[in-house]
A and B are shown apart, each in its own frame.
Chain A
Amino acid sequence: NAGVTQTPKFRILKIGQSMTLQCTQDMNHNYMYWYRQDPGMGLKLIYYSVGAGITDKGEVPNGYNVSRSTTEDFPLRLELAAPSQTSVYFCASSYRPRHEQFFGPGTRLTVL
């Protein structure tokens, strides 16, 4: 099992550009999450999904969009990138919210 995989590992964007962060899990988990982590700030929930076709906002959803067409994939879309979106992004999945989350290796994004 690969667990949770994320691509790309690093990316530099210019202000106003768009991109999609990819996340795939092979554990057949229904629950998937996107977090951002700024230095010394812990993890902030951006969006989460409880199953294919169902998504909901977290604490910091502005500037992001998600979709969940399959159980395995949960891409995060950034439209009109801004310097405030410079961060490390982690995708995670779990069997149920009460259960442990499995995290991907992260994507380090810089917006200049």
Chain B
Amino acid sequence: EDQVTQSPEALRLQEGESSSLNCSYTVSGLRGLFWYRQDPGKGPEFLFTLYSAGEEKEKERLKATLTKKESFLHITAPKPEDSATYLCAVQANRDDKIIFGKGTRLHILP
């Protein structure tokens, strides 16, 4: 069964304190891994798609990496506006379904 596990469930950081969020996945043939950001009361917003192990993508203070078993979302020198829930999702080769993890709630303290 395809699974996506995100850790930690919640993370509190001081402004400027860098850290990483983890997304472990079990899927029979990865077609794509996605990262989304979700603010309270809103729909998720797309951040990155990674397609193959070794791939990396960056956007402002965020950098996503991918291995054959997990993905990391690295956040460098975060600011309070980076506070949100970060969702990881995967798509397997065999169908068009997208499986989401439960998310990591990130809180950046000023």
What is A's interface to B at a CB cutoff of 8 Å?
A: 4, 31, 33, 35, 40-45, 48, 50, 56, 58-59, 90, 92, 97-106
Contact = CB atoms under 8 A, between A and B. Distances in A.
Contact of B87 (A43, A58, A59): A43
A50 B98 CA distance: 13
Nearest to A96: B96
Interface of B: 6, 9, 31-32, 34, 36, 41-46, 49, 51, 87, 89, 91, 96-103
Contacts of A44: 100
A101 B87 contact: no
B31 A98 contact: yes
Nearest to B91: A97
B9 to A, nearest CB: 8
Contacts of A98: 31-32, 49, 51, 91
